[in-house]
Amino acid sequence: MKIVVCLKPVPDPKDWGKLKLDPETKTLVRTGVGTVINPLDKHALEAALVLRDELGGSVLVVSMAPPDAGPVLKEALAMGADEAYLLSDRAFAGSDTLGTAHVLASAIEALGGSDVILCGDETIDGGTAQVSAQVAEFLGLPNLMHVSHIQAQAEGPFVVHSQVEQGHLVVEIAPPLVLSVVKELNTPRYVTMMDILDAEEKPLVTWDNEQVCAGESCVGLADSPTQMADLFAPPKKKQAEMLPGTPREQARELAGRLRRLGFC
């Protein structure tokens, strides 16, 4: 079974306090901010490794990212992926979700397709949750989101649980398919020192647009259909209000306000 995992390097959540917005370029200033595998993508990779161990085959990781994203892909190799492909070309810079999905889908086609494509449900920086569905659309494959359980078999359909508000759907879905996963699916494994050494023997390949064959349309900032009008940090406001009454009255009023705001 050939399994592809789409993986995105994102700013380390521990460093979010250091992130700043450049008011001129409207981009994030990432100086001093670490980069990690998007947390839900790690769950997707873990699911891929479990599938490979159960059914055989290989796990390939693809990531559209700047050239310095190599260490993040090395971590994916250390977790157990067999090959990693960094899709990096100036033409891809500034792509919106459609452009990103187009590049990823083109790369998957260039790799000869895949039985199972796994993604995280969403990324912690963009948070659009659009890319997996768009990849599926480009490849003409069925897509299921919010996946919290996968029961796979070598022949026949997978039984997949997809989270909904009141529980989960149980869906039979046959490969080839695209699944995007939630954190409840599994616990990603630790990377051991032996894994780090093994990863150094595995292929980490950089592909530009010539190898990806994504063409020029709909990739890059200029050709993306989504154009950002503005980006700004909202001004921080603080206002203290003293609630009148006895402690009991104050507590009742506070609880009511919190309930109305949706906190409980």
Residue 182 in the binding site for other proteins (CB under 8 A): no
Residue 197 in the binding site for other proteins (CB under 8 A): yes
Closer CB to other proteins, residue 73 or residue 179? 73
Q: Work out which of 1, 19, 28, 70 binds other proteins, going by CB under 8 A.
A: 70
Residue 194 in the binding site for other proteins (CB under 8 A): yes
Q: How far is residue 91's CA from residue 57's CA, in Å, rounded to a whole number?
A: 33
Residue 200 in the binding site for other proteins (CB under 8 A): yes
Are 243 and 253 contacting, i.e. CB atoms less than 8 angstroms apart? yes
Residue 46 Cβ, how far from other proteins at the closest point, in Å? 13
Are 223 and 217 contacting, i.e. CB atoms less than 8 angstroms apart? yes
Q: Work out which of 29, 93, 170, 196 binds other proteins, going by CB under 8 A.
A: 196
Q: Which stretch binds other proteins (CB under 8 A): 24-32, 70-78, 153-161, 220-228?
A: 70-78
Residue 191 in the binding site for other proteins (CB under 8 A): yes
> What residue type is 120 in one-letter code?
G
Q: Work out which of 67, 71, 156, 215 binds other proteins, going by CB under 8 A.
A: 71
Residue 74 Cβ, how far from other proteins at the closest point, in Å? 6
Residue 199 Cβ, how far from other proteins at the closest point, in Å? 8
Q: Work out which of 192, 216, 250, 254 binds other proteins, going by CB under 8 A.
A: 192
* Three-class secondary structure assignment of 176-226: CEEEEECHHHCCCCCCCHHHHHHHCCCCEEEECHHHHCCCCCCCHHHHCCC
CA 12 to chain centre: 13
Question: Quick one: 148 exposed, middle or buried, by C-beta within 10 A (0-12, 13-18, 19+)?
Answer: middle
Q: How far is residue 215's CA from residue 106's CA, in Å, rounded to a whole number?
A: 9
Residue 74 in the binding site for other proteins (CB under 8 A): yes
Q: How far is residue 65's CA from residue 93's CA, in Å, rounded to a whole number?
A: 8
Query: Total binding residues for other proteins by CB under 8 A?
Result: 15
Closer CB to other proteins, residue 25 or residue 31? 31
Tokens 């993604």 locate to: 119
Residue 128 in the binding site for other proteins (CB under 8 A): no
Contacting positions for other proteins (CB under 8 A): 70-71, 74-75, 78, 190-197, 199-200
